[in-house]
Amino acid sequence: MKVFIFSAFDGVPYSGEEPMRYASIAEEFLKNGHEVVYLASSFSHIHKKFRKISDTPDRLKVILLSTKSYSRNFSLDRVLSHQRLSVSLSTWLNKRDNSMLPDLVIGASPPLVPNYILAKFCQKNNIPFIYDIQDLWPEEFLKFLPLKGALKFILKPYFTMAENIVKMSTAVFAVSSDYIGYYKTQISNKPSAVFYLGTDTGKFEITGQNKDTNQDFKKVILLGNSQAGKYVIATAKAIQNIEGVKLTVAGLQEKSWQYRNKIKEEKLGNVEIISWLDKDKIYSLLPGFDVGLILLDPETKSAFPNRAFTYFASGLPVVNTIAGNELEKYISDNKLGITIKFADEESIREGIKYCLDHFPLSERKRIQQFAREHFDRRDIYERYYKTIMNYEL
């Protein structure tokens, strides 16, 4: 079987980037004897630089689709980058003759337009198309701007496009059952399944194994990105009234210096800003923390963010602000932390205190073991592959 896998944002196989969801899916097809063509942006969304591919093994071909660079996630340059990516993908697909057609196409969403192009290509050539949803675009954009009603009207063509992609797909997979539920009308009776993002749970240090027993403070970590930035100062203020607590914020990249300056200006103590943590550092350092923070806009449609799996694999209880969805229920049902209704200073403080009071080392070890049993990436994507083969699409 020949499989096309498209992903604009994930780490690309043999590029030096950390393998993520779609590289893991490609690995499953390769180890079972199939041929994989991996279609990706030439520009890395995570590292903000152009990719280079080393020698790939037999049966794997990586195609880097030409696009523009961008330095900020919310920028005109990123919009233009996505437009060029769509054109590059369409041009490449149009050059495929019958001998080059795949037996299956898997499209990672977002972004939307490339997936619409893939869906139309598959429909035209009678090829099964699996639409794999990692995030709800354009619905997710509504939280960033006021006048949501007007914005939703402006974005209506993209809402329609997303629905049409689901309708044209052969099957719909997603990282959360919330996303499957969002499109239940469009999915109707076609095959659908949920596969969490997961992580390499076995690579994390054992919780408590290397922890300094003489340290006189508890450690809280906020793995951040552009969405988490606005909660950094509220969290820094929240820990000031919790004795013996230190906050580490990691992942803000180019915005790190802004928050270092703000924290210095407001004279907030016991706060460390690290611009980036690579995977090896995460595997070794996070199990030494005591609490992990998932601080996103409570109205977000990001149902089960990647950092949740990182925290659980590290044995950390979480303070979570994403309410009313699958993650909140999962945390409650399995005693993995607490969900708070508001991401304000007082609520964050009480959430941290709750986790410190209710999750001693024995509980953190239980959380880490739970993650190894439920969120291991290899197990998840082995099931992903077997599900596809059992569907006989």
Assign 3-class secondary structure to 10-52: CCCCCCCCCCCHHHHHHHHHHHCCCEEEEEEECEECCCCEECC
Quick one: pLDDT band at residue 301, thresholds 50, 70, 90? low
| Residue 288: strand, helix, or coil | helix
Quick one: pLDDT band at residue 144, thresholds 50, 70, 90? low
Inter-residue contact 195 to 381 (CB < 8 Å): yes
What was the pLDDT predicted at 143?
63
Q: Which of the four CATH numbers 3.40.50.2000, 3.30.70.360, 3.30.40.10, 3.40.190.80 does domain 201-374 have?
A: 3.40.50.2000
What was the pLDDT predicted at 214?
46
14-41 average pLDDT score: 89
**Fold agreement between 2-198+376-391 and 201-374:** yes
Lowest mean pLDDT among 53-57, 101-105, 190-194: 53-57
Helical packing angle, 345-358 and 232-239, nearest 10°: 60
The number of angstroms, rounded, from the C-alpha of 256 to the middle of its chain's C-alpha atoms is 21
Lowest mean pLDDT among 62-76, 87-101, 175-189, 344-358: 62-76
Domain parsing of the chain, residue ranges: 2-198+376-391, 201-374
Q: Which fold has domain 2-198+376-391?
A: Rossmann fold (3.40.50)
More confident residue, 268 or 343: 268
User: Residue 52, class by beta-carbon neighbours within 10 Å (0-12 exposed, 13-18 middle, 19+ buried)?
Assistant: exposed
Confidence (pTM): 0.86
What was the pLDDT predicted at 48?
80
Using one digit for the tens of pLDDT, what is the confidence trace for 58-91?
Answer: 899 999 998 987 777 777 878 788 899 999 999 9
Quick one: pLDDT band at residue 180, thresholds 50, 70, 90? very high
pLDDT surpasses 90 at 318: yes
Quick one: pLDDT band at residue 298, thresholds 50, 70, 90? low
